[in-house]
Amino acid sequence: MRIDLSSTTALVTGSTSGIGFAIAQGLAAAGADVVVNGRSAERVAEAVERLRSEHPDATISGVDADIASDEGTARLLERVPAVDVLVNNLGIFGEAPALEISDEEWRRYFDTNVMTAVRLIRHYLPGMIEKGWGRVLDIASDSALVIPAEMIHYGVSKTALLAVSRGFAKAAAGTGVTVNSVIAGPTHTGGVEDFVYQLVSKDLDWDEAQREFMRLHRPQSLLQRLIEPVEIANLVVYLASPLASATTGGAVRVDGGYVDSIVP
């Protein structure tokens, strides 16, 4: 199966590290011109340089902008007015007792995890529809379906993102543009390592800590390990390609069997 994304421009938000960076790597390897996004100019420059060194034939650029703010969104849209593939990867997460999450924190999670995607889709989707081809991919989470007791604000925001994807897929019906969400399972990233050590003993080495975390907090995982970012990226690259032309309005799982369901 050959995936060719040459002559396409792909924007990946929150892509200086972790899942977002792995997605940017995968899209660049498939031939797309990739735009990296993050809040820090230094980290964006580092990510761009690394991608250029790994994929010297690819066109890689970056925009440092905090798209959780109106000003940051305006800066990104000015620099990147149109794309063929939009990957809404930006998201925040963290542990908090349910009864202690403030209104301000609820709003911060909704603004970052949901409204950033809404604003970018609203801007880029009309151009895709006009061209008759495009891909919108919203990176959701198993937490959208299995709300974690330790971070319900995160889970609720990702549930909302599933609805955002489905709704905009209906807005693009019959146009050649597809809109999907990707339900990522527990994934091995730097941020997740920190999160794991919040929940298990810091005296454990990483392999032991990972096993203990999965045993105590994610026992329903059929994979029984954390997913590597490249495994998420592989699905995203496929969904971004012409090969996935009949998949739209979906919530496609790459969760290691974590969600105990036989349907998406």
Which residues are the active-site residues? 154
Element (H, E) at 92: none
Quote the radius of gyration of the chain (alpha carbons, Å).
18
Question: CB of 165 within 8 A of CB of 180?
Answer: yes
Selection from 167, 155, 168 nearest residue 110 by Cα: 155
| Distance from C-alpha of 161 to C-alpha of 169, rounded to nearest angstrom | 12
Q: Coil, helix or strand for 212?
A: helix
**Rama region for 69: left / alpha / beta (φ>0; ψ in -120 to 50; rest):** beta
**3-state secondary structure at position 32:** coil
- Measured distance CA(89)–CA(19) in Å, rounded: 8
In whole angstroms, give the CA distance from residue 162 to residue 140: 7
Contact 243, 235 (CB under 8 A): no
Per DSSP, helices labelled H in the chain are 18-29, 41-54, 70-79, 103-110, 116-131, 152-171, 190-199, 206-217, 229-239
Contacts of 123 (CB under 8 A, 6+ apart): 77
